[in-house]
Structures are given as structure tokens and as C-alpha cells.
């Protein structure tokens, strides 16, 4: 049986995603990642360069995944926000990873920061091209949309307490409807005025 380096990398990456989402950067353990991935610790250092770099690569990959899954165009914003909402609901690990990153990096630079900024710049450029008036407005618009969706999954205890909905899936469906409607209002506000 031959050694499959790519399969090993993928197993490490999946195990690391689960470990970091559960325990954060400080609480994650390389030995648990290695055990879950059926790999040795040396492979993790060889392929990823250590725990901090692996954490950064995991966060970046999950952010890239969502960035490529949804196109936030003001002309189709309600549908795109619905897709984004569904994606976050189906991939709760991204919110946990971002929250851990916020807690543990504490205002410092994040791994792959320039590349991640470049990805967001691309979304901002797309929003400007689609009619959002100016870069600053597009940046604020993007940040607001992401927050509007992500907050629903960042604090599930507040969602439960405030909505007082005993069925978590009904609460999520209710929040999705509200978020999509808010996105519709934002899209209407951002739509360029027709020329006379």
C-alpha cells in the first residue's frame, strides 16, 4: 500500500477543523488532531508548519469556501442572503472558528490576512460594480450583511432566550425570513436610481 500524501493532508485538515472549532487555538491539541486524522504529529508540522499556521489555514479555507459559495449582488441580495444563511446553518464550524480567532488573536494580525483582505476587496469591488455607491458604502454594506446573517449563529442562547421559540428549527426558519426581508430592504435602498 502506497502512502497518499494528499489524503493524509485532507484527513489532518478535517480533524483540525473539528478540533479548532471545538477547542479554539489555545485549547486544541496536535496529538488529538493526529489521532483523529490517523496521521503522525510530524506530518502535521511537515504539511502545515505548526498549530498556529494550521489554525490560520483552516479559518482561511472555511472563509474562502463561503466566499465562493455565495455572490452578494445587490440585484439578487435577498436570495443570496438566504443562501448565506443556509450555508452558515449547515456549517456551524465557521462561526466557531471566527469567534475563536477573534478571542485568541486579540486585535493582532491573522494568518493569511493579506490574502483574506484581497478576497473581501473582490466582493467590495463587485458590489461597487453592481451599483452600491462608493467603496466605503460597499464595505459597510458587506460587513452589515455578514453580521446580519452570522449573529444568528454566533449567539444561539440569545436567539433561544429572545425568540422564546421551543423548536430550534422553527426559530432558525423565523430568523431566516426576517434576515431575507431586511436584505430586501437593503437591496432596494442600494439600488441605483433610474435615469430620467
Per-residue model confidence as pLDDT tens digits over 60-112: 999 888 877 777 777 888 998 999 999 999 999 999 999 999 998 877 788 88
CA distances from 121 to 29, 116, 139, 143, 157 (A): 34, 9, 8, 12, 33
| Average predicted confidence (pLDDT) for the chain | 88
DSSP string computed for the chain: ----HHHHHHHHHHHHHHHHHHHHHHH--HHHHHHHHT--HHHHHHHH-SHHHHHHHHHHHHHHHHHHH----GGGHHHHHHHHHHHHHH-HHHHHHHHHHHHHHTTSPPTTHHHHHHHHHHHHHHHHHTT-SSHHHHHHHHHHHHHHHHHHHH-HHHHHHHH--S-HHHHHHHHHHHHHHHHHHHHHHHSPPPP-
How sure is the predictor about 27, in pLDDT bands with cuts at 50, 70 and 90? very high
CA-CA distance, 120 to 79, in Å (whole number)? Answer: 20
Please, are residues 174 and 166 in contact by the beta-carbon 8 Å criterion?
Answer: no
Model's pTM, two decimal places? 0.84
- The domains found in the chain, sorted by start residue, are 57-190 (1.10.357.10)
Q: What would the pLDDT profile of 33-71 be if each residue is shown by its tens digit?
A: 999 999 999 999 999 988 999 999 999 999 888 877 777
Of 77, 34, 94, nearest to 186 by C-alpha is: 77
DSSP string computed for 55-95: HHHHHHHHHHHHHHH----GGGHHHHHHHHHHHHHH-HHHH
What pLDDT sits at residue 191?
A: 61
What pLDDT sits at residue 150?
A: 93
What pLDDT sits at residue 2?
A: 66
What pLDDT sits at residue 76?
A: 85
Amino acid at each position: 500500500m502506497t502512502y497518499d500524501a494528499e489524503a493524509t493532508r485532507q484527513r489532518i485538515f478535517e480533524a483540525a477543523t473539528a478540533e479548532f472549532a471545538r477547542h479554539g487555538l489555545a485549547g486544541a491539541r496536535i496529538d488529538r488532531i493526529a489521532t483523529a486524522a490517523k496521521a503522525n504529529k510530524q506530518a502535521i508540522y511537515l504539511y502545515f508548519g505548526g498549530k498556529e499556521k494550521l489554525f490560520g489555514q483552516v479559518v482561511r479555507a472555511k472563509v474562502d469556501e463561503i466566499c465562493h459559495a455565495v455572490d452578494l449582488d445587490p440585484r439578487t441580495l435577498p436570495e443570496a442572503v438566504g443562501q448565506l444563511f443556509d450555508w452558515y446553518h449547515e456549517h456551524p464550524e465557521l462561526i466557531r472558528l471566527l469567534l475563536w480567532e477573534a478571542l485568541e488573536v486579540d486585535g493582532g494580525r491573522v494568518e493569511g490576512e493579506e490574502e483574506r483582505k484581497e478576497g473581501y476587496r473582490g466582493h467590495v469591488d463587485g458590489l461597487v460594480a453592481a451599483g452600491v455607491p462608493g467603496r466605503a458604502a460597499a464595505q459597510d454594506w458587506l460587513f452589515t450583511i455578514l453580521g446580519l446573517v452570522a449573529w444568528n449563529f454566533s449567539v444561539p442562547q440569545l436567539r433561544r432566550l429572545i425568540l422564546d421559540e421551543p423548536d430550534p428549527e422553527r426559530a432558525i426558519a423565523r430568523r431566516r425570513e426576517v434576515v431575507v426581508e431586511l436584505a430586501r430592504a437593503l437591496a432596494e435602498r442600494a439600488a441605483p436610481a433610474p435615469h430620467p
